[in-house]
Structure 1
Amino acid sequence: MSTDDTAPQDGWGSVPRVADISGTREAPAPGTREAPAPTGAAAAPAPRPRKRMRRGAIIGIIAGGAAVVLLAVAGGVGYSVGSNSHAPERQVEAFLDHLRSGKVDAALTDAGIEHAKDDVLLTDAAYAKAKSRVTGYRIAATKTDGDTATVGAYLTQSGRQVAATFTLDKTGTDWGVFPKWELQAPDLGSVDVVVQAPAGTTVAVAGQKVTTDKTGGLTLRALPGSYDVAVDGGKWFTADTATADVRGFAAAESTPVSITTTLTDDGRAAATDAVNAWVDGCIASTSTTPDGCSFYAYGENPANTYTDQKWTLDARPTVQVDGWLADGWMVTTSSYGSATFTANFTGPAGSGTATAGPINVNASGYITGFTDAGATFESSIGNGSSDTGS
């Protein structure tokens, strides 16, 4: 029986040798030489032995893969957070948060609202005294159109929902990715007041003192809220405290306030004194037609020479001081007074005394204001235009 391992055999002889399938070589038998490896084109390269991967390398690969995944996740989260923090409504929220906290200066800066010295209500102190302020808000919708964004919100004032719209402009980007938005100054409402009193009347709005213009009115820009309006008429006149409501940021939502004034007892006494002083001034005139007075005399003879001309008040008019009209507190004459004019004359017919009267004295007019000295009266009737002279 042949023991040549190279000879083809049936059965077990056809099974490949271990060396052929394992990539290793069998050790040669003692006393024999190992056959040389085949050379030339037909020689197949010996398979490279596989190395077992170390545990540290395997852990490194796993850790690296996990890091890539984490970086991808972190990048996605970072982009989402960045987009959220750069959303246009964030500027609106910052503005309204400051306003809700009463930080007016910060809110005005957020919204780019310029204010001057006469904007007395746009301060922390004034807003602290306002009622029905913004206590909450809700962002309703955001619309972006190119470089412009519009944010709709609902403000909470005294439990009521007040709609407000804000506009923002795109001013650039952060890191070349996230848009930067700038809130445009919203149109503020205003406290509009008309005081039935003389121009220059002192008015306190939320504790801030201002004076009315020549029409008796004033307009002050204001943030959303309700503002107490009190008139300072000194000892001469008074008025009930009123409230000016400013809802949201639309000027059309502001409610104008008209304040009616009433003369105090001192004011009425001063008004009566002013009327009497006016009558006395007219009586003191030596002219037959006292300037600015409601009575006059006529019928002089141009051929005569007149001396010792004078008016004598026979009875004072009785007056009543009523409410404020366009020109002042109205003074009406409830009963006329009377006056007489006398003068000595000399002429072709001789000499004597000329007399005119009694003549009605009408003291209707207006109390136009007060000073430390008292009231100012202006007659509404000049030179007896509605009276009968004689």
Structure 2
Amino acid sequence: MQTTSVVKVLAAWLLGLMLVVAGFIATVSVLNGQLYSPEHQVRLYLDAMRDGDGEKALGLLNASVPDGANPTLLDGEALSRGSNPLEDLEVGEARGTGGDRVEVPVTYTVDGVATSTVFPLQRTGTEWGFFNVWQFEPTVLPTVEVSALNSVVAAVNGVDVGLPDGRAALAALYPTALTAEYEGRYFSAPARHATITSRENPPPPLALATEATPELTRAVDDQLHAFLDGCAEQTVFQPTNCPFNYPTNERLAGDISWSIAEYPTATISPGNGGWYLATLRGSARIETRLRDFFSGAVRDVSEAVPFEFEADLVVTEDAITVTPVVRYR
């Protein structure tokens, strides 16, 4: 009877041990499939991007920043805002690529367009001999070039980025959506968009086409109007330093009165690191009375006089200067 009891105890103990071992093996299997899986590493990386934690994301991706690249997009709001446009994001199942290497696909949509990114990872060992350790394969971050005509700054994902010589190469984690734009007092540029999906597929350069704002155009028009109005105040056939005149061989028989019938439309364009005005064209009207040199007959004159001229434009943060350049013909 005593022997039978001992056998029962040993059997129970062995059964309990087997259950513990089986439970442990199951736990290891579950953890390797979840917390210690390559998919989990990818999720941690994507979460770090959404949180704007650039240091963590860069470390997880096992990536280096190219020499000379601007790091503005690698942290904070600029980083987290790049994740906002990525919708329907899903991390797929890892697929083996040979040895201890796998690929983890991530699918998402940007502006309704289905896109994907594939992350290569490798198993580098285990923790405590049981749990797999996965690591992204080393890579170098892609860059995107942002440029703006005649500007040394642009906003990328809502953060100001310096543009030495009008351009900069920005390093970026991926997948990410970028929006570059410029909004200044006198000049602005419509937004340009790009999506970086991988190191192998960098986007084309984001070239911002800078244009004059209505405030600048109004300021230029005001100076042009003031200049021409000053010319119209002169009561001579050839107003001094002005773009219009009235040549005649007849004698003056009354007062001369000028008015501006059509003011020029200012067209402002970038060029040579500055801004220039296209040729300015308009029309003045002269009102006077003239006496024929031979017959002595007097006639009333009311004629439109077309004119054109150039003008130099200098724009600074503090002032706008329009300098008419009149060439007599």
**TM-score grouping bracket, smaller chain normalisation:** 0.5 to 0.7
1:238 aligns with 2:188: yes
2:16 aligned partner: 67
Instruction: Point out the structure with max Rg over C-alpha.
Output: 1
Matching residue within 246, 251, 259 for 2:208: 259
Distance 1:82 1:180 in 2: 11
Contact 2:141/2:199 (<8 A) preserved: yes
Distance 2:315 2:241 in 1: 29
**Residue correspondence of structure 1 range 90-239 to structure 2 within 5 A:** 90-100=40-50, 103-113=53-63, 118-130=70-82, 131-133=84-86, 136-146=89-99, 149-158=101-110, 160-176=113-129, 179-184=132-137, 188=141, 192-195=145-148, 197-200=149-152, 202-214=153-165, 216-222=166-172, 223-234=174-185, 236-239=186-189
Contact 2:55/2:75 (<8 A) preserved: yes
1:322 aligned partner: 267
Contact 1:91/1:182 (<8 A) preserved: yes
Contact 1:237/1:264 (<8 A) preserved: yes
Letter in 2 for 1:125: E
Letter in 2 for 1:155: T
Contact 1:139/1:154 (<8 A) preserved: yes
**Residue correspondence of structure 1 range 264-343 to structure 2 within 5 A:** 264-268=213-217, 314-316=241-243, 321-327=266-272, 328-334=274-280
> Normalised by the size of structure 2, how large is the TM-score?
0.61
Distance 2:322 2:170 in 1: 29
Distance 2:8 2:80 in 1: 63
1:374 aligns with 2:323: no
2:26 aligned partner: 77
2:297 aligned partner: none
Q: What secondary structure is seen at the aligned counterpart in 2 of 1:363? A: strand
User: Displacement, 1:361?
Assistant: 10
Percent sequence identity over aligned pairs: 21
Distance 1:377 1:212 in 2: 29
Q: What secondary structure is seen at the aligned counterpart in 1 of 2:267? A: strand
Q: What secondary structure is seen at the aligned counterpart in 1 of 2:58? A: helix
Contact 1:104/1:122 (<8 A) preserved: yes
CA displacement, residues 135-167 of structure 1 (integer Å, 9 cap, x when unaligned): 5222244224345x2413123234654221223
Distance 1:135 1:89 in 2: 17
Q: Identify if the C-alpha distance between structure 1 residues 329 and 181 changes in structure 2 by more than 3 Å, giving closer, same or farther.
A: same
Letter in 1 for 2:209: T
Q: Identify if the C-alpha distance between structure 1 residues 371 and 319 changes in structure 2 by more than 3 Å, giving closer, same or farther.
A: farther
Letter in 1 for 2:104: G
Distance 2:242 2:9 in 1: 119
Letter in 2 for 1:331: L
Distance 1:239 1:97 in 2: 32
Distance 2:42 2:195 in 1: 19
Distance 1:265 1:106 in 2: 44
Q: What secondary structure is seen at the aligned counterpart in 2 of 1:252? A: coil
Letter in 2 for 1:184: E
1:363 aligns with 2:315: no
User: Displacement, 1:331?
Assistant: 2.3
Distance 2:71 2:200 in 1: 15
Q: What secondary structure is seen at the aligned counterpart in 1 of 2:72? A: coil
Q: Pairwise CA RMSD of aligned residues?
A: 4.3
User: Displacement, 1:111?
Assistant: 1.8
Distance 2:194 2:41 in 1: 26
Contact 2:52/2:78 (<8 A) preserved: no
Contact 1:82/1:178 (<8 A) preserved: yes
